[in-house]
């Protein structure tokens, strides 16, 4: 068993960079599910289970906050940890997101260590 | 504005090196291309809050592919790097703007970012008339940034 991780971002480049950086964390990753916005993520969640979701905020069709709010009301998805991936560094915004239940905040640009720390902090150390 | 431009220049250099292994230097005024001669492509990104504003980024055609290749670990002549060039440019600008506004205004105010957009030649002509500009060079390629900041 290993982690299944979902990446939600409208930028194909960032999806690829995140996927590449995840591979550098040396964490046991079973698979990575890619989605291009919140709508696409919710559609993909119907057919696969994920351990954690990394999502951008600003996306067309459905942004990351709406995705999180929708998941929070869904009995099967409400416990999946969501990490926001963003360039913004406002402490006010981060505190607001955490108060709503967002589990982590990954600021771009990021390193493998940043991602590794967030996954371990959120899901626990893999044994 | 001079302090903001200097802050922006430092943020731009840091993001380009951290995210895309692109190392920049100041571009001499004599080495700057003209609007008519420069075959460039550009992207823009707005931010909303107090204040609001917009940054534009222009690079030589082909340089966007180089950025994409560096970000993704690809050969810069590959088709994949070619396809992802503009998308990579938009993401770099997104990182620059997000980090720039925190660096200038601190981490208390909340800003919202727009979605990055492509710019056309008309926008480039307008940018060549602006004073709030930063000219850099990387790998022999000119890079131009313009910054517009307004109260609302």
Which fold is adopted by the domain A3-91+102-122?
A: Rossmann fold (3.40.50)
| Secondary structure class of A23 (helix, strand, coil) | helix
Flag whether pLDDT at A125 surpasses 90: no
Element containing residue A86 per DSSP (H, E): strand A82-86
Interface of A with B in 101-120 (CB under 8 A): 107-109
> What is the per-residue pLDDT across B56-73, written as a single tens digit (0 to 9) for each?
999 998 899 999 999 998
Structural domain contains residue B70: no
Give pTM, 2 decimals. 0.91
Q: What is the CATH number of the domain that holds B119?
A: 3.40.1550.10
Residue B111: which domain range? Answer: 2-60+87-150
Q: How many CB pairs under 8 A join A and B?
A: 67
Domain membership of residue B76 (yes or no) is no
Do residues B56 and B143 touch, judged by C-beta distance below 8 A?
Answer: no
User: In total, how many domains does chain B have?
Assistant: 1
Domain boundaries, chain A: 3-91+102-122
What's the ipTM? 0.86
| pLDDT computed for residue A4 by the predictor | 95
Scanning B21-139, the segments in alpha helix (DSSP H) are: 63-72, 79-105, 121-127
**Residue of chain B minimizing CA distance to A9:** B91
Residue B78 lies in a domain: no
């Amino acid at each position: 068993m290993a982690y299944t991780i979902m990446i939600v971002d409208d930028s194909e480049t960032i999806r690829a960079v995140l996927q590449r950086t995840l591979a550098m964390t040396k964490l046991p990753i079973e698979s990575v599910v890619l989605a291009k916005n919140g709508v696409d993520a919710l559609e993909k969640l119907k057919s696969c289970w994920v351990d954690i979701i990394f999502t951008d905020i600003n996306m067309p069709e459905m942004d990351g906050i709406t995705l999180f709010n929708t998941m929070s009301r869904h009995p099967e998805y409400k416990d999946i940890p969501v990490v926001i991936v963003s360039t913004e560094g406002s402490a006010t915004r981060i505190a607001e997101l955490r108060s709503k239940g967002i589990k982590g905040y990954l600021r771009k640009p990021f390193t493998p260590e940043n991602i590794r720390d967030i996954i371990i902090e959120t899901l626990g150390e893999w044994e | 504005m001079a302090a903001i431009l200097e802050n922006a220049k430092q943020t731009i250099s840091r993001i380009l090196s951290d995210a895309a292994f692109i190392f920049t230097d100041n571009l001499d005024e004599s080495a700057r291309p003209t609007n008519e001669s420069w075959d460039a492509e550009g992207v823009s990104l707005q931010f909303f809050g107090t204040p609001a504003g917009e940054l534009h980024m222009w690079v030589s055609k082909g340089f966007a592919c180089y950025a994409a290749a560096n970000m993704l670990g690809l050969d810069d002549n590959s088709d994949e790097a070619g396809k992802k060039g503009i998308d990579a440019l938009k993401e770099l600008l997104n990182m620059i703007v997000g980090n720039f506004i925190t660096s200038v205004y601190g981490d208390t105010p909340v800003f919202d970012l727009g979605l990055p957009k492509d710019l056309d030649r008309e926008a480039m002509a307008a940018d060549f008339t602006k004073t709030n500009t930063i000219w850099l060079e990387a790998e022999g390629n000119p890079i131009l940034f313009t910054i517009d900041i307004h109260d609302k």
